[in-house]
Structure 1
Amino acid sequence: MTLERDKMIRDLKGLIDIPSISSDKAAVEEALDYVLKLGEQMGMRCEKVADGQVGIIEIGQGDETFGILTHVDVVNAGREELWKSPPFACEVRDGNLYGRGAIDDKGPTVAVLHAMGAAMENGKPFHKTVRLIVGTQEETEWTDMDCYTKHYSLPDYGFTPDGDFPIGNVEKGCMDVTLRFPAALVDEAPLQIVGLEAGTAFNIVPDNCSALLSDGRVIVTEGKAVHTCAPEKGENAIFQMPGLLEGVTPNGFSQVLEMVTEFFSDCTAPKLGLRTKEEYFAGEFIHRTVFTPVLITTSGSFVEVGINVRFAYTTTEDELLDVFNRLCQEYGGEVAGITSLPAVFVSRNTPFLEVLSATYEESTGFPPDFVLGYGGSYAKAMPGIVSFGPILPGMKDCCHEENEYIPLKALEKNCEIYYRAIEGIAQCEKSFRR
């Protein structure tokens, strides 16, 4: 393949420089328009659909469609003072490209786009349509994919470059739960908590927690923010707060802190009584269900706690709701909100995965194993989708962290792998439908 390395880096820098945090709809639209313009400049078919929330970039032709799902929205920058360079002013140093979205998912988006461009130029005929589906709300409520899947045709199979190599054919489910408890105060208490706040998003381990005391003081704890798919890699600031509250009169706020610490300081939450019985299903590793308290907010006379759950394939949403209802009943609260996305299980015998396996092995020299996806990706959005990169063996997964980056060599290797996948599937006469 012919790779325009410098142009790929320029294209990615331009995309990262757009602060497309999911909640900033104007910036997200700007990022989507930027990617569509890149596709148009390469001679691809481009359009915006799903009420402007999704971009479609296509090459090739044929009744069979090979889908690639990416997203241009990002999480917030976290604590900007910890960044060595501005999160939305992309910088290349020491062989790495730094900026929010470098690995999740702007870098892979640009790598796929350039892989598609290289496939257009290799002189081989296409026997299938390649459709790059670019979303804008992956980090939040998935309104983009909800609209797309209801009103537009789905690809026959495909991948999302939003996980680990080799192939993520199994992915945990994801649930965001909001629990509401009375923030009861104690009359004439000399010192008590009157307000609690923690966290910034459901998919980030909170690196901050603050308790407002009745004498006006604010106690602050700090942790380390990481993606909630692997909370053990970070430090949850909520768990540090109870140890700093000596001499504070117990009340509704302190009870919530004690409850959160007691039940969730072990991320598998054994005291909830829902430990996954087996870590394997049909020969595939599915891990265990993991719980992370991520948000605490004070709202009037109530305190709300947000819990992010990454549940194993054999755990049901009804089982999770049942344990949360029982917990709330014990502490006088209620389940105030819940959203969930299903776990993913794609058989490793699915035909197109043979090509992805061969492509990965030829490009890297590593065995093409199948892996569990701990995070939530667009693989959940439609049938027959697996995660495929961008994280290579030995590479740090720093998505959602301060100083997020992608090594330039990894960016190039991603582009090579995706090019070979497009060539091996879309430029092959064989059908890969089941």
Structure 2
Amino acid sequence: MEKYQNELLKDTLELLSFDGEEGKPLPGAPFGEGNRQCLDWFLSKAESFGFQTKNLDGYCGVADIGEGEAFGILGHLDTVPVGDGWTHNPYGEISGDVIYGRGVVDDRGPMLACLYAVKSLLDEGLIPKKRIRFIVGCNEETGWRCIKHFNTVEKMPDTGFSPDADFPVINCEKGIATITFEKNYSGNVEISGGTRPNVVPNVCTARIPDTADNLTIIEKSGLEYEIKDGRIVVTAHGKAAHAATPALGDNAIVKLLKALSDIDVDLKKIYGAFETSDGKGAGLDLRDDVSGALTVNLGIISSHEKLKFTINIRYPVTVKKSTLIDILDKCLYDFTIAESEFQEPLYVDKDDVLVKTLLSTYNDVMGTNLDAISIGGGTYARALKHGVAFGPEFPGVESTIHMPDERTPISTYMNVFKIYREAIRRLCF
């Protein structure tokens, strides 16, 4: 496998060089020029490996090789915004034995590792027993419009995996609810924080009247502030993380709302509901034995014209959408729901052959004896009738997806390659 390392690393840096944040729609590039260029690059690389490819109007791409029943490998090339706080090049850098870059873990690196895994098997002269179908999307982070478009023009494989979560194998993904609340607002606080519902916000800023009482409250909070144009400008800093694991972050909106709760009654209500990521304040502390506990991320807030905030909930597989709405309506009775989007949970039995094959592959390659797990993240595996998420993050290793300095050690990346190679060999060759 070592003979592929230099080539894989070189191509990974090229793949990371494209801007993956959703950009201005252009003809043939519905999610911006950067995502279109990245898609073109990936499909061109697949063609050079012998795949037949299709660019589906810039929404997503397909790369096929082999004949027979289709086996899907679904991932994405778009990324969350780069954001602030990087100490290495967010568009690809190798420093020491570590690769840095937005998308190196989520999800460009894993998709390229899977592509190289197939190439290495073909180079050995092995012939696929199935049609291996790569489906690469460009809108996973902000709406899945790529998958929706795919389903209008192509047939989705029944079975497959998505290399966009954790090892050893994910047989259960919690449901995902993204809900925006709003109300008319006559308060004196101008607040703004967060960029995406699925990212724990790392900064939040508010402007409040410069009064003696307000100044005392802000000084006691210990937050950063300055007096500007007759207003107190106060800023809270936190730590970004994926909304699926909010406890790994430090929510800047929540930190600022804590201070502002003594100034504004509406902000106090929001703070009380979402002070903790278990949703207990809102009455959302729900769990089940299959998938674990509910989590919630207060991802975006603003008070321009209306007081508006967006939460991202990862809910257990046995919880109904109507239950969530009923609980939130009672807690936030004076707010209205402006927008809502739900993704149904995913569950595949641990005794299913796909789960057992992927699990045994991981354990055999890594010399472990682990079991399938549940996550709060949502992957393209949900787009399959019979699919699961498989890697690339390892148990017990710090996750840096959606954070500054997203990274992976080269040795870890090569283990990812080896695991995917063996899994694809067992399932498709």
When normalised by structure 2's length, the TM-score is 0.90
1:379 and 1:259 map into 2 onto residues whose CA distance is 36
> How far does the alpha carbon of each residue in 1:230-255 deviate from its partner, in whole angstroms, 9 at most, with x for none?
11111111222245459x7x4xxx22
Question: What corresponds to 2:59 in structure 1?
Answer: 53
Question: What corresponds to 1:310 in structure 2?
Answer: 314
Question: Are the aligned partners of 2:160 and 2:384 in contact in 1 as well (CA < 8 Å)?
Answer: no
Question: What corresponds to 1:267 in structure 2?
Answer: 277
Question: What corresponds to 1:221 in structure 2?
Answer: 236
Stretches of 4+ moved more than 3 A in 1? 242-246
Question: What corresponds to 1:4 in structure 2?
Answer: 4
TM-aligned CA deviation for residue 377 of structure 1:
1.1
Paired letter, 1:60: G
Correspondence list, 1:27-106, <5 A: 27-49=34-56, 51-62=57-68, 64-79=69-84, 82-88=85-91, 90-106=92-108
2:121 and 2:303 map into 1 onto residues whose CA distance is 53
Q: Does 1:279 align with 2:281?
A: no
> How far does the alpha carbon of each residue in 1:73-125 deviate from its partner, in whole angstroms, 9 at most, with x for none?
0001121xx2112212x111131100111110011011011001112122222
Question: What corresponds to 1:432 in structure 2?
Answer: none
2:260 and 2:332 map into 1 onto residues whose CA distance is 24
Q: Does 1:290 align with 2:295?
A: yes
Question: Are the aligned partners of 1:162 and 1:377 in contact in 2 as well (CA < 8 Å)?
Answer: yes
**1:217 aligns to what SS in structure 2?**
strand
1:274 and 1:225 map into 2 onto residues whose CA distance is 23
Question: Are the aligned partners of 1:223 and 1:236 in contact in 2 as well (CA < 8 Å)?
Answer: yes
Paired letter, 1:229: A
1:244 and 1:163 map into 2 onto residues whose CA distance is 35
Question: Are the aligned partners of 1:111 and 1:414 in contact in 2 as well (CA < 8 Å)?
Answer: yes
Say if 1:120 and 1:100 are closer, same or farther in 2 by CA, change over 3 A: same
1:333 and 1:423 map into 2 onto residues whose CA distance is 53
Question: Are the aligned partners of 2:16 and 2:104 in contact in 1 as well (CA < 8 Å)?
Answer: yes
Correspondence list, 1:337-356, <5 A: 337-356=339-358
1:171 and 1:84 map into 2 onto residues whose CA distance is 33
2:321 and 2:260 map into 1 onto residues whose CA distance is 35
> How far does the alpha carbon of each residue in 1:389-433 deviate from its partner, in whole angstroms, 9 at most, with x for none?
001233221100101001111111111111111211111xxxxxx
TM-aligned CA deviation for residue 352 of structure 1:
2.5
1:245 and 1:389 map into 2 onto residues whose CA distance is 41
Question: What corresponds to 1:197 in structure 2?
Answer: 192
Name the Cα RMSD after superposition: 1.7
Question: Are the aligned partners of 1:167 and 1:368 in contact in 2 as well (CA < 8 Å)?
Answer: no
TM-aligned CA deviation for residue 373 of structure 1:
1.9
Counterpart of 1:169 (choices 168, 171, 176) is 171
Correspondence list, 1:106-185, <5 A: 106-185=108-187
2:395 and 2:329 map into 1 onto residues whose CA distance is 40
Question: Are the aligned partners of 2:205 and 2:236 in contact in 1 as well (CA < 8 Å)?
Answer: yes
1:384 and 1:103 map into 2 onto residues whose CA distance is 24
**2:47 aligns to what SS in structure 1?**
helix
TM-aligned CA deviation for residue 147 of structure 1:
1.9
1:84 and 1:275 map into 2 onto residues whose CA distance is 37
Question: Are the aligned partners of 1:181 and 1:334 in contact in 2 as well (CA < 8 Å)?
Answer: yes
> How far does the alpha carbon of each residue in 1:309-352 deviate from its partner, in whole angstroms, 9 at most, with x for none?
111101111111222222332xx220110011111101122223
**2:312 aligns to what SS in structure 1?**
strand
Say if 1:245 and 1:374 are closer, same or farther in 2 by CA, change over 3 A: closer
Paired letter, 1:85: H
2:416 and 2:258 map into 1 onto residues whose CA distance is 45
> How far does the alpha carbon of each residue in 1:194-241 deviate from its partner, in whole angstroms, 9 at most, with x for none?
x11011111111111111124333111111111111111111112222
Question: Are the aligned partners of 1:98 and 1:403 in contact in 2 as well (CA < 8 Å)?
Answer: yes
Correspondence list, 1:343-382, <5 A: 343-382=345-384
TM-aligned CA deviation for residue 273 of structure 1:
2.8
Identity of paired residues, percent? 29
When normalised by structure 1's length, the TM-score is 0.89
> How far does the alpha carbon of each residue in 1:133-173 deviate from its partner, in whole angstroms, 9 at most, with x for none?
10110101100111223442121311111111011000111
**2:61 aligns to what SS in structure 1?**
strand
Paired letter, 2:266: V
**1:241 aligns to what SS in structure 2?**
helix
Question: What corresponds to 2:328 in structure 1?
Answer: 324
Gapped regions of structure 1 (runs ≥ 5): 186-191, 428-434
2:47 and 2:141 map into 1 onto residues whose CA distance is 26
Question: Are the aligned partners of 1:210 and 1:218 in contact in 2 as well (CA < 8 Å)?
Answer: yes
**2:242 aligns to what SS in structure 1?**
coil
1:355 and 1:27 map into 2 onto residues whose CA distance is 36
Question: Are the aligned partners of 2:175 and 2:346 in contact in 1 as well (CA < 8 Å)?
Answer: yes
Gapped regions of structure 2 (runs ≥ 5): 24-30, 210-229
**1:304 aligns to what SS in structure 2?**
strand
The aligned length equals: 402
**Which piece of structure 1 moves more, 391-400 or 288-297?**
391-400
Say if 1:375 and 1:86 are closer, same or farther in 2 by CA, change over 3 A: same
1:399 and 1:425 map into 2 onto residues whose CA distance is 28
TM-aligned CA deviation for residue 2 of structure 1:
6.9
Counterpart of 1:399 (choices 398, 401, 414) is 401
